[in-house]
Amino acid sequence: MDISDITKSVSGNGSEMNMGDLLGSTLGLLQGQSGGLEGLMGLFASKGLGDIIGSWIGTGNNLPVSTHQIINVFGEDAMKNMATKHGTDTNTFISKITELLPNVIDKLTPNGKVTGSETSGLNIESLAELFGIKQD
């Protein structure tokens, strides 16, 4: 699934959550980890999912991640809080983050390497620009 599929599924599901909300939440997950993307890599590795995030960073195919794995990494309470903040149900929110996060990390690491500056100065507008999405 690519970003255009995610955009269509977000806009067509009757939810109040828009792509800007999703990108903002994804950005929060990336920047909320100490050390940005490197911190997120450590978090995934600590849950036995280092190979999954490694595939998103690398130049090959992205391995899938399940909603249960996302909950395991970030915690159910954090996911519930973010869903509530955006006025959507928790299952929908987690499903969309599960679809979007691999794509975002893949776009942030086009050369298959983590430099440590991927999330430096990153905001919703620049993240949307990576995917060719215009923000209102």
Angstrom CA distances, 28 to 46, 101, 114, 124, stand at: 20, 11, 18, 10
> For residues 12 and 120, is the Cβ–Cβ distance under 8 A?
no
- Split at pLDDT 50, 70, 90, the class of 11 is very low
Question: In the chain, which ranges are continuous DSSP H helix?
Answer: 3-11, 19-31, 36-46, 50-57, 67-74, 76-85, 90-108, 124-130
DSSP string, 80-112: HHHHHHTTS-HHHHHHHHHHHHHHHHHHH-TTS
Locate the domains of the chain by residue range.
Answer: 3-130
Residue with tokens 């100490």: 34
pTM (two decimals): 0.77
Q: What is the pLDDT of residue 9?
A: 46
How much of the chain, in percent, has pLDDT values that exceed 70?
69
Has residue 4 got a pLDDT over 70?
A: no
pLDDT tens digits along 16-72: 456 677 777 777 777 775 567 888 899 999 999 999 999 999 999 999 999 999 999
Q: What is the domain class of 3-130 according to CATH?
A: mainly alpha
Mean pLDDT calculated for residue range 92-98: 90
Q: What is the pLDDT of residue 14?
A: 44
Higher per-residue pLDDT: 72 or 133: 72
> For residues 17 and 9, is the Cβ–Cβ distance under 8 A?
no
